[in-house]
Structure 1
Amino acid sequence: MTSRDEELRPLVDDCVHCGFCLPTCPTYVLWGEEMDSPRGRIHLMGQHLEGEPLGLPMVEHFDRCLGCMACVTACPSGVRYDRLIEQTRAQVEREHSRPAGERAVRELIFRLFPYPRRLHALRGPLRLYQRTGLDRLVERTGVLERLSPALAAMERLAPPLGRAPRLPERVAARGGRRATVGMLTGCVQREFFPGVNAATARVLAMEGCDVVIPRGQGCCGALSVHSGRQEEGLRFARRTIAAFESVDVVVVNAAGCGSVMKEYRELLAGDPVWAARAEAFSRKTRDLAEFLVELGPRAERHPVPVTVAYHDACHLSHAQGIRVQPRALLAGIPELTVREIADPDICCGSAGTYNLLQPEAAAQLGDRKAAGVRDTGAELLVAANPGCSMQIATALRRRGEEIAVAHTAQVLDASLRGLGRGPLFR
């Protein structure tokens, strides 16, 4: 038995197969299949530890898992399904040979999305593609869907692209300085939702923070780690740690990124060079909402007369346990009303690269979430993860409906600057 197997065995044995996870698991909710539930997948992990090879049927069940961690929240036995699925996916990538077409799609995804400069180079052609109406023609003909469902999913999910404001390396605090923080700009967030980063920096500055935005930062490794590409993810993690070692707090505005950055301490625990640095880094990582609530409000809140539906991103609510803080920030804005979405703990289907690699299941979950958003009657959807924003907006468009989408940072920004609701609907 390998050292990895020795780590997995007690984690597998922690599961008592009670079934509390079943109603929280998105794929079990969709299909009612035992092997597409957390306890079913843990049973398959146990079989693999006993010598069963990672054949296609077993791998398919692991691939269908979103890694949303709702089962971790629901489990009364404290089963570390997060560690189990990450380690199992790493084994899949080492031991299982995927078909050539699937390998090509995965290689495209991981050679593009974790690299902001490559995404930036794509912005120009993608903006032209959208502005000329070629995107609508491609959608009507279905040519991309026939060529590759994954490529079609990428095309559908791309948000409308405007100009990308360039952030300086330092944004000075307004008034007396209360803290100095580093800010992760991310990959998809940086290139597809640059307004979120700009709003985040402004809000932090208006609340009295000097905001440091290191030029040397890149991908945090979340997409790679959550997809079993551990060595690749660890390279990104080490670079991120080095980029932010000069600051006392690292603020993150994307749920998936914050989740993995808080996990660096576990991922690098066996690395004698990086273990202590990773531990220190994870301790000082904060989600934006988490940090602002800890800091306390100072800047005046102005009215934003709008009704919003707040969406719980899985890697914020389940992986980080952050549910109260975003709602508290929104509740502090005069004239803003928050409405809850039905089944908030069921994933929207984004889940990192899931909506690219499992587009049919992702679409079913997206449709469920879109229906829940519509039923709130809200004018604005607020989410704290770029993947969720794209996924739910796409699902709503598929239903012939539109809703404005904003990050918590953008709503706060509108309030602190006294801009009312206008900027949130542009």
Structure 2
Amino acid sequence: MDAETPRDRQNLLGDCVHCGFCLPTCPTYVLWGEEMDSPRGRIHLMAQREEGAPLAPMVQHFDQCLGCMACVTACPSGVQYDRLIETTRAEVEDEHPRPLRERVLREAVFRLFPYRRRLRAVRGPLRLYQRSGLPALVRRSGVLERISPTLAAMERLAPPLGPAPRLPERVAARGGRRATVGMLTGCVQGEFFPGVNAATARVLALEGCDVVIPRDQGCCGALSLHSGRAEEAAAFARATIETFESVDVVVVNAAGCGSSMKEYADVLAGDPAWARRAAAVAAKTRDFAEFVDELGPRAERHPVPATVAYHDACHLSHAQRIRSQPRRLLAGIPELTVREIADPDVCCGSAGTYNLFQPEAAAQLGDRKAGTVRATGAELLVAANPGCSLQIATALRRQGTDIAVAHTAQVLDASLRGLGRAALL
């Protein structure tokens, strides 16, 4: 993240007029009604910090923020809360001494999830564990909860794992080529949801794109950036820029990753050797739905007779302001009925690593979101972020409901290939 002077920060803090428009959209304020767990309350704490107040008593309130950016969308004054919370979290990471147990757990998470090879190494044992019948016994015993709520959350959230096919480095366009695009496969998306990446590549190819899928690509830096690990995020950003700067467009199918890549210009603004390159890659990054909607339909849409509920991932709807595009893509599929979820602006509780480090609050938000999904009566939930899919599916199971979950790309893939609803349910 680019360095800020105290004057810059004071100006950003001063933009907040404490009107309260953000309150009904803030997940933690909705849960607890506590002023210090609202955006304007946290901004008040940041201002106190600027005046010399100690950091330690404030950390809990900053940690409990999901970083969902719903307040940014709701704010009539244009307060850049996204920038404020990211720089504040970087300050917390640099200056606040967390307890040893918490430091170990946090470091374990950040040493695992952004690294595809490490995720792949645990994938096989995790799959065996899921097929062994042990998960039900472990959850009934509560042993993981006693060891660590974070470990228990990781175990609950893990999706059912099947074979993980690997994509080729290039998928050729069907028919005349309309574009050549690079595709980010992601960390969690690539290892836990390989079917989403396969569907993304097929849809792009069927719509006339040559799809370049670099084999050596790594993490985009999203988890690190949103958790205040600024130098780590910058290192991931540089590597991703090198991987994709030779393509014309970078297509991303995970909302959090796309949001972070579009921030690269800010992440590396203070680095003269990388600032221009970062801005160039940020400018050509597109969310999957955004790009396919811009491209326009060419392949024939076949009927998918199903009722779906569409979930707005926070880093798609708030951070990237992408709402209408996925709905237009779904509306273009014959016989597909799309139902809206109540309170769409309130986060599901996933928020990157939030459901690992704040599992109790995340579970409350997950249950709230699952209830609104169930109320639609839909047979399929469509979401555009792997964290959201894991979070809501887990909450639905907790409520005794097993609604199928799919990505927008998978629904389009089923339509373009004429597979119908059977491929999704």
2:422 is matched with which residue? Answer: 422
1:198 is paired with a residue of what secondary structure?
helix
The aligned counterpart of 2:27 is 26
The residue aligned with 1:119 is 119
2:151 maps to what in 1? 151
1:180 partner SS: strand
Question: Who is 1:12 aligned against?
Answer: 13
**Residue matched to 1:243:** 243
**TM-score, normalization by structure 2:** 0.99
Q: Quick one: distance in 2 between partners of 1:53 and 1:221?
A: 29
Corresponding residue number in structure 2 for 1:109: 109
Other-structure match for 1:350:
350
Q: Equivalents in 2 of 1:327, 1:410: separation in Å?
A: 14
CA–CA distance in structure 2, aligned partners of residues 391 and 6 of structure 1: 39
The answer for the alignment partner of 1:398 in structure 2 is 398
CA distance in structure 1 between the partners assigned to 2:55 and 2:270 by the alignment: 26
- Give 1:216 deviation, angstroms: 2.0
What SS class does the counterpart of residue 337 from structure 2 fall into?
A: strand
Distance 2:396 2:215 in 1: 36
SS at 2:167's partner residue?
coil
> Hey, what's the Cα distance between the residues in 2 that align with 1:47 and 1:329?
46
Same amino acid, percent of matched pairs: 81
Residue 321 of structure 2 is matched in structure 1 by 321
Q: 1:423 deviation in Å?
A: 1.3
User: Which residue is equivalent to 1:287?
Assistant: 287
SS for the counterpart of 2:262 is: helix
Q: Which residue of 2 aligns with 1:276?
A: 276
C-alpha displacement of 1:140: 1.1
Shift in Å, 1:401? 1.1
Cα distance per residue 1:295-336 (max 9 Å; x no partner): 000000000000000000000000000000000000000000
The worse-fitting range, judged by mean Cα deviation, of 137-146 and 173-182 is: 137-146
Matched residue of 2:424: which SS?
Answer: helix
Give SS of 1:77's match: coil
CA distance in 1 between partners of 2:116 and 2:248 (Å): 25
Q: Which residue of 2 aligns with 1:52?
A: 53
- Report SS of the residue matched to 1:251: strand
Inter-partner Cα distance in structure 1 for 2:158 and 2:414: 25
Unaligned regions of 5+ residues in structure 2, if any? none
- Spell out, residue by residue over 1:166-220, the C-alpha distance to the aligned partner (whole angstroms, 9 max, x if none): 0010000000000000000000000000000000000000000000001121000
Structure 1 residue 3 displacement after superposition:
4.4
Distance in 2, Cα, partners of 1:199 & 1:190: 12
Query: 1: CA distance between counterparts of 2:95 and 2:14?
Result: 23
Q: Which amino acid aligns with 2:231?
A: E
Paired residues, number: 423
Q: SS of 1:224's equivalent?
A: helix
Gaps of 5+ in 1: none
Equivalent-residue separation in structure 2 for 1:59 and 1:276 (angstroms): 34
Q: What is the CA-CA distance between 1:7 and the residue it aligns to?
A: 2.8
The aligned residue for residue 88 of structure 2 is: 88
Amino acid across the alignment from 1:39: R
- In structure 2, give the amino acid aligned to 1:345: D
1:12-57: CA deviation from partner (whole Å, max 9, x where unpaired):
01111111100110000000000000000000000011111211x3
**In 2, distance between residues paired with 1:303 and 1:311?**
21
| Partner AA of 1:183 in structure 2 | M
User: What code does the residue aligned with 2:346 have?
Assistant: I
- Structure 1 residue 4, shift from structure 2 partner: 4.2
For 1:93 and 1:5, the matched residues in 2 are separated by: 18
Matching residue of 2:176 = 176
Q: Secondary structure at the match of 2:85?
A: helix
What does 1:224-263 align with in structure 2 at a 5 Å threshold?
224-263=224-263
Instruction: Provide the C-alpha distance between the structure 2 equivalents of 1:259 and 1:285, rounded to a whole number of angstroms.
Output: 9
Paired position in structure 2 for 1:97: 97
Hey, what's the Cα distance between the residues in 2 that align with 1:179 and 1:350? 34
How far is 1:5 from its partner? 2.9
Distance 2:361 2:372 in 1: 17
- With normalisation by structure 1, the TM-score equals 0.99
By how many angstroms is 1:137 displaced?
1.1
Alpha-carbon distance between aligned partners in 1 of 2:203 and 2:5, rounded to the nearest angstrom: 43
SS in 2 for 1:199: helix
Task: Look up the match of 2:332.
Answer: 332
Instruction: Give the whole-Å Cα distance in 1 for the aligned partners of 2:238 and 2:415.
Output: 37
1:108-154 Cα shifts (integer Å, max 9, x gaps): 10000000110001110000000011111101111111110000000
- Provide the rounded CA distance (Å) in 2 between the counterparts of 1:3 and 1:393: 39
- 2:304 equivalent in structure 1: 304
2:387: which partner in 1?
387
Structure 2: distance between partners of 1:273 and 1:99 = 37
What amino acid sits opposite 1:61 in the alignment? H
> Counterpart of 1:106 in structure 2: which amino acid?
R
**1:241 and 1:153 mapped to 2: Cα distance?**
32
Q: In the TM superposition, what are the counterparts of 1:167-206 in structure 2 within 5 Å?
A: 167-206=167-206
- Match of residue 74 from structure 1: 74
CA apart distance, 1:246: 1.1
Q: 1:65 maps to what in 2?
A: 65
Distance 1:3 1:327 in 2: 38
Cross-structure match for 1:372 = 372
Distance, in Å, in 1 between the alignment partners of 2:171 and 2:402 is: 34
Cα separation, 2, equivalents of 1:412 and 1:250: 19
Tell me the amino acid that sits aligned with residue 408 of structure 1: T
Give the corresponding residue for 1:208.
Answer: 208
Q: Which residue of 2 aligns with 1:136?
A: 136
Cα distance between partner residues in 2 of 1:351 and 1:179: 32
SS at match of 1:150: helix
